[in-house]
Amino acid sequence: MIIEDMNGNIKNSKFIGVLLLVVISMIVLIVFSFQRATDVQLTGKNTQIKFERAICDLGCLKQGTPKTIQFRFENVGNEPLVIYNVEPSCGCTGAEWSKKPIEQGGEGLVEVTYDAKEPGVFMKTIDVYGNFEDGLVQLTIKGTVER
């Protein structure tokens, strides 16, 4: 809708509204991104994580049949371990993880589901972020999907 102000200037209220919405959305995203990135550093209490394995060969999978596997880990440090986020490398892989803090000596898991839709060889990574040394551990699944 085009409107005219008191001085006779024409303004596009829809454009201004959309522009305002975009700016506000960007500010919110920046604030949340900064918060997530600094959570570990603000506590100053990092610990250590030890996975049983970082790579899992799923072998041959039947096309159209999802496969779920678990990566078990232990808190081998002196502080409670918190996993903040788990990010698979693509949409064909989903992940769930232990959301509660893991006490010293405690165990947790990252559960990964690969949706075997496309035939062929695959290798996918899963980034695990938390309050442990380096703040990132990368897990890998690989295998072959057969028709």
| Dist CA 13 CA 4 (whole Å) | 10
The model's pLDDT over 99-112, given as tens digits with 9 standing for 90+, comes to 999 999 999 999 99
Distance of CA 136 to the CA centre of its chain: 11
Which is more confidently placed, 21 or 33? 21
| Dist CA 62 CA 75 (whole Å) | 35
Phi, psi torsion values for 134, nearest 5 degrees: 70, -15
- DSSP 8-state symbol, 47: B
Which pLDDT value is given to residue 102?
95
Q: Above 90 in pLDDT, residue 11?
A: no
With bands split at pLDDT 50, 70 and 90, how would you rate the model's confidence at 3?
Answer: low
| Dist CA 126 CA 43 (whole Å) | 25
The model's pLDDT over 41-89, given as tens digits with 9 standing for 90+, comes to 444 578 999 999 999 999 999 999 999 999 999 999 999 999 999 999 9
Q: Are 95 and 114 in contact (CB under 8 A)?
A: no
Pairing of strands 83-88, 55-62: unpaired
- DSSP 8-state symbol, 100: S
